[in-house]
């Protein structure tokens, strides 16, 4: 999966607990994205980053925060998980700036009980 590692691959947690998902890339791509995938909705953008410490909100950012302290790592945090955040989360990377190819990780299945 194009040098993208997501961890954990599966997680079960309880409502109200904080959760952090990690995305690590070895491609040195500038852009990194977090998407969630739900049946009937396709892939929806949560947050993205266009450089170290440069992030912006996506379509469904409420309840999520992100951080990027190094080029290779992009963290997604659910401050207080809710059942509506049960989903499959995908990290993606792209070089950007005219090179639009978007590469995805293998995903994290998150269940909030």
Partner 1 sequence: QQQVKQSPQSLIVQKGGISIINCAYENTAFDYFPWYQQFPGKGPALLIAIRPDVSEKKEGRFTISFNKSAKQFSLHIMDSQPGDSATYFCAASNYGQNFVFGPGTRLSVLP
Asked whether position 106 contacts partner 1 by CB under 8 A, the answer is yes
> Is residue 75 close enough to count as binding partner 1 by CB under 8 A?
no
Q: Which of 20, 43, 57, 61 binds partner 1 (CB under 8 A)?
A: 43
Among 16, 41, 54, 69, binds partner 1 (CB under 8 A): 41
Q: Does 96 participate in binding partner 1 (rule CB under 8 A)?
A: yes
Cα(45)–Cα(112) distance, rounded to whole angstroms?
Answer: 20
Considering only 20-28, 65-73, 77-85, 102-110, which stretch makes contact with partner 1 by CB under 8 A?
A: 102-110
Q: Which of 21, 78, 94, 112 binds partner 1 (CB under 8 A)?
A: 94
Q: What is the 3-state secondary structure of the chain?
A: CCCEEEECCEEEECCCCCEEEEEEECCCCCEEEEEEEECCCEEEEEEEEEECCEEEECCCCCCEEEEEEECCEEEEEECCCCHHHCEEEEEEEECECCECCCEECCCEEEEEC
The residue among 17 and 84 lying less far from partner 1, judged by its C-beta, is 84
Cα-Cα end-to-end distance for the chain: 29
- Catalog residues that contact partner 1 under the rule CB under 8 A: 1, 4, 31, 33, 35, 40-45, 48, 50, 59, 90, 92, 94-107
């Amino acid at each position: 999966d194009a040098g993208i590692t997501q961890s954990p691959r599966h997680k079960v947690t309880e409502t109200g607990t904080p959760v952090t998902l990690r995305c690590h890339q070895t491609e040195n791509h500038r852009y990194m994205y977090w998407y969630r995938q739900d049946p009937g909705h396709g892939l929806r953008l949560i947050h993205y980053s266009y450089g170290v410490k440069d992030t912006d909100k996506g379509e469904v950012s409420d309840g999520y925060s992100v951080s990027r302290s190094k080029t290779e790592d992009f963290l997604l945090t659910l401050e207080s998980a809710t059942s509506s955040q049960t989903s499959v989360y995908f990290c993606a990377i792209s070089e950007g700036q005219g090179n639009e190819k978007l590469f995805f990780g293998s995903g994290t299945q998150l269940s909030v009980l």
